[in-house]
Amino acid sequence: MASSLDAHLSSECGSDPLKRQVADTIRNLCSASVKLRNKIIAGGEGMGNAHGATNAGGDVQKELDVVADKVFLEAAEASPIAFFGSEEQDEAVALKLDAPLALAIDPLDGSSNIETNVSIGTIFSILPVGDEHRGDPASVFRQKGSVQLGAGFFVYGPQLLLVMSMGNGTHVFIFSPSFGGFVELKSSLVLLDKAKEFAINASNYRHWDQPIRSYVDDLLAGSEGPRERDFNMRWIASMVADCYRILLRGGIFLYPGDGRKGYAKGRLRLVYEANPIAFCVENAGGLATDGTTRILDIVPEGLHDRTPLVFGSKREVERVARYIADPSALAERSPLFGKRSLFRA
Ligand code: AHG
Ligand code: MN
Ligand code: MN
C-alpha cells in the first residue's frame, strides 16, 4: 500500500508549528479538490457556460470558475489563512486576521477546456504573513515567490492528482476513492535535463519578438537545423497538464509576452500561476524564468500581475535566455546554422 499524503505531510513537518499549519491547509485544499472533482464528474448543465462577468484579468468567467472559487474560499476559511487572493476576485479577501498564512489561488486553470472534457486544474501558493502585512492585505501578495512555504496544483483529468512541494522535493499524490484520500504516486520528481518536447501556443507566432521566433524556428528545423535533433510539440492549453507532463518526461513550456494588445507580459499571472509552478519545477531540479529572470526572484507589484513564463528542463530554459540576451549572436546565426557554439545542442 502506497503511503498516504497525510503520513507524508506529517513526516515532512516534524514538530515545526508553521509547517504543520501549511500541511493543514494542504489537507483542506485536498478536500476541496475532491468536492470540485465530484462537481466536474457530475457535469452539471452549463459548467462551461459564461457566468456573465469578467475577472480582474479581463477573462470571461465561466460557471465552473465561480464554483471553484467558492469551494476553495471555503477551504481557506477552514484553514489558518489570513488573506485569500484569487484570480476570480479583484482584491484580496481578509479572513482570520491573526492567522500566519496567505493563500493565492487560480481556482480553475484551463477554463477554455471545461466543456471539451480535457484536463483542468487548480494552482495554489501558500505564503507567510508577517505583522507588516496585517494593516495592508495587498502587501502580502507582493512577496517574491522564493518565500513560498508550500505550493502545488491539482489536475482534474482521468485521475485526480496533487503535485506539491513544501521546499523539499516535488511529490505527486493520487486520489484513491477506495482509500478515501490521496496516496503517494511519485516522490521526489527529477526533471530531465534534456528536452525532447516543447509547449507553446504557436498561433501567436506572428506576435512574438524575434528571439522567441528564432528559438522556435530552430526547434522546428529539428535534425536539419542547429539543434541537430527532432522535437515534438504539445499544447494542452491547461498549464497544469502541460506542467505535469514536463515534470514526468522533461521538455519546455513557453508563454512569452507578445504584440497583442494587453499581452506585453503574456497571459499568465505571476502570483497564483507562475510562482507555484516555478516552485514545483525548481524543487524537481528544473528552472522557471520570465525569459531571463528567475520567476521566484521577481517582486510582484500586485495580486494580478502578469509575467512571461518559460519553465521546464533547466538547460533548455537557459538556452531561451541566451536567445533573448544575445540578439547580436542571433543576427549572426548562419542560415546554414554554422558552427556557433551558442545555439548548438
Ligand atoms: P485560466 O483558465 O486560469 O485563465 O488559465 C489558462 C492559461 C493556461 O492554463 C494555459 O496554458 C493558457 O492560459 C492557455 O492560453 P491560450 O488560450 O493562449 O492557449
Ligand atoms: Mn490559469
Ligand atoms: Mn483560472
Whether residue 337 is predicted with pLDDT greater than 80 in this model: the reply is: no
- Tell whether ligand 1 has an atom less than 6 A from the beta carbon of residue 326: no
Residue whose CA lies nearest to ligand 1 atom number 6: 110
Whether residue 114 is predicted with pLDDT greater than 50 in this model: the reply is: yes
Whether residue 308 is predicted with pLDDT greater than 80 in this model: the reply is: yes
pLDDT tens for each residue of 58-90: 888 999 999 999 999 999 999 999 999 999 999
Q: Which residues have a Cβ under 8 Å from the Cβ of 184 and sit 6 or more positions away?
A: 2, 3, 4, 5, 8, 171, 172, 173
Residue among 114, 156, 255 whose CB has most ligand 1 atoms within 8 A, to mutate: 255
Q: Which helix (H) or strand (E) holds 239?
A: helix 239-249
Whether residue 55 is predicted with pLDDT greater than 80 in this model: the reply is: yes
> 14 C-alpha to center of ligand 3: Å?
33
* Beta-carbon count within 10 A of 225 CB: 17
Per CATH, domain 197-333 is 3.40.190.80: yes
Q: What is the pLDDT of residue 56?
A: 86
Identity (one letter) of the amino acid at 134? Answer: R
> 276 C-alpha to center of ligand 2: Å?
11
Q: Which ligand is nearest to the CA of 240?
A: 1
Pairing, β 150-156 against β 120-128: antiparallel
Which atom of ligand 1 is nearest to 123's Cα? 3
Q: What is the pLDDT of residue 335?
A: 55
> 117 C-alpha to center of ligand 3: Å?
16
- Tell whether ligand 1 has an atom less than 6 A from the beta carbon of residue 234: no
> 267 C-alpha to center of ligand 2: Å?
9
pTM: 0.95
Q: Sheet containing 287-289: which strands, arranged edge to edge?
A: 232-233, 197-199, 252-255, 309-312, 287-289
**Distance between CA atoms of 146 and 275, rounded to whole angstroms?**
8
262-293 residues labelled b (16+ CB within 10 A) or e (exposed): ebebbbbbbbbbbbbbbbbbbbbbbbbbbbee
> 210 C-alpha to center of ligand 1: Å?
23
Q: What is the pLDDT of residue 334?
A: 52
Identity (one letter) of the amino acid at 238? Answer: S
Confidence of residue 157 (pLDDT cuts 50, 70, 90): very high
Nearest alpha-carbon partner for 27 in 204, 164, 190: 164
Q: What is the pLDDT of residue 254?
A: 99
For 5-186, CATH gives 3.30.540.10
Q: What is the pLDDT of residue 2?
A: 80
- Tell whether ligand 1 has an atom less than 6 A from the beta carbon of residue 201: yes
Identity (one letter) of the amino acid at 30? Answer: C
Q: What percent of the chain has pLDDT over 70?
A: 94
Q: What is the pLDDT of residue 122?
A: 98
Confidence of residue 332 (pLDDT cuts 50, 70, 90): low
Task: Report the chain's mean pLDDT, rounded to a whole number.
Answer: 94
**Distance between CA atoms of 324 and 34, rounded to whole angstroms?**
42
Residue among 113, 239, 253, 270 whose CB has most ligand 1 atoms within 8 A, to mutate: 239
Q: The cell 472533482 sits on which residue?
A: 37
Q: What is the pLDDT of residue 331?
A: 55
For the chain, the distance separating the N- and C-terminal CA atoms, rounded to the nearest angstrom, is 42
- Domain positions in the chain are 5-186, 197-333
pLDDT tens for each residue of 95-111: 998 999 999 999 999 99
Whether residue 342 is predicted with pLDDT greater than 60 in this model: the reply is: no
Nearest alpha-carbon partner for 82 in 107, 102, 64: 102
Q: Which residues have a Cβ under 8 Å from the Cβ of 93 and sit 6 or more positions away?
A: 73, 83, 84, 85, 86
- Tell whether ligand 1 has an atom less than 6 A from the beta carbon of residue 12: no
What is the pLDDT averaged over residues 246-263? 98
Contact criterion met (CB below 8 Å) for 8 and 171: yes
Calculate the dihedral angle through the C-alpha atoms of 83, 87, 91, 94, rounding to the nearest 10 degrees.
-20
Q: What percent of the chain has pLDDT over 90?
A: 87
Pairing, β 50-54 against β 160-165: unpaired
What is the pLDDT averaged over residues 177-182? 96
Q: What is the pLDDT of residue 72?
A: 98
- Tell whether ligand 1 has an atom less than 6 A from the beta carbon of residue 88: no
Contact criterion met (CB below 8 Å) for 343 and 226: yes
pLDDT tens for each residue of 203-248: 999 999 999 999 999 999 999 999 999 999 999 999 999 999 999 9
**Distance between CA atoms of 48 and 115, rounded to whole angstroms?**
5
What is the pLDDT averaged over residues 17-43? 97
Q: 312's torsion region: left (phi>0), alpha (psi -120 to 50) or beta?
A: left
Which stretch, 49-58, 277-286, 331-340, has highest mean pLDDT? 277-286
Lowest mean pLDDT among 47-51, 112-116, 149-153, 183-187: 47-51
- Tell whether ligand 1 has an atom less than 6 A from the beta carbon of residue 111: yes
What is the pLDDT averaged over residues 152-158? 98
> 155 C-alpha to center of ligand 1: Å?
14
